Structure 1
Amino acid sequence: MSRPRIGAGIHPIPATRDLNQTPTPQNPHPTDMLTDIRLQRSSPSIVRRHSKSSITRVDGGFILGPGRPPIAERKNDEQVKPKIETTFGPAYSAVTTITTDEGNKVQYQHKRTSSMSSHRSQNDSEDLRSTSHHGSLTRSHHSESAFSRPSRTGSALSSTSTLSGTSYRSPASDEEMPLVFAEPPPSQLLCKICNRVYKVPIIMSCGHSFCKTCTMTLEHCPVDGKAMTPIVDNLAVSEQVNSLFIHCRYGLRPTADTFGEFEIDSNGCPFTIRFGERRKHESECEYAPVSCPNNPACPNMLKRHLSEHLESCKHIKCPNHKFGCQFIGDKPSLTTHESICKFEMVKDFLQLTEDRITDLTNAMRQRDDENSFLRSMLSKTADRVDELEKATEIKFDVLTQNQNKISEELRQLRQDAVIITNELQNLNTKLNMGGIGLYDPQQIFKCKGTFVGHTGPVWCLFVHGDLLFSGSSDKNIKVWDTATNYKCQKTLEGHTGIVLAITAKGSNLYSGSADCKIKVWNINTLEEVNSIDAHENAVCTLVCSYNYLFSGSLKNIKVWKAEGTELTLHRELTGLNHWVRALVASQNYIYSGSYQTVMIWDVRTLECVHVLETSGGSVYSIAVTAHQILCGTYENVIHVWDVRNHEQVATLTGHVGTIYALAVLSTPDQTKVFSASYDRSLRVWSMDNVICTQTLIRHQGSVTSLAVSRGRVFSGAVDSTVKVWQ
Structure 2
Amino acid sequence: EADADPPPTVFASPPPDGLLCRICGNVFRNPFTASCGDSFCHRCIADETVPCPRHNVPAKPLVVNLALCDQVGDLLIRCRYGLRVKRPNAESPDSGLTSPSSLVGGCSSYEVDPSGCNAEIRLGNRLEHENCCPHSPAVCSRGCGLTVKLRDLQEHESDCGGNGTSCSSVCVGARQRMEKQIRHLEEQLEQRTAESERIRVMLSGVVERLDRLDRHVTDRLQLLEINQAEHQDLLADSLAKQDRLQEAIVVVNELVSSIASVQPGGNVWQTFKCLGTFVGHRGPIWCLLGGGDYLYSASGDKSVKMWQVSSSNELLKTLDGHDGPVLSLALTGSVLFSGSQDNTIRVWDVAPASAEFGTCLKTLKGHTDSVSTLCVSKLYLFSGSFTLVKVWDLASRICLRTLTGFVRWVRALVVSQQLLYVGCGNSVLVIDLCNFSTVRSLCTDEEGNNVHSVLVLPDFVIAGTGCGFLLVWEALEEPVVSAAGTAATALGSASAIAAVETDGEHSNDEAAVSSSAVTSTEEVASATTRPSHVLRGHSSQVSCLSVMRTSAGLKLLSGSHDMSVAVWSLHNMLRTQTLQRHQGIVTAMAVCNSRLFTGSADCSMRVWAP
Normalising by structure 2, report the TM-score.
0.49
Larger relative contact order (CA 8 Å, sep ≥ 6):
2
Larger radius of gyration, structure 1 or 2?
1
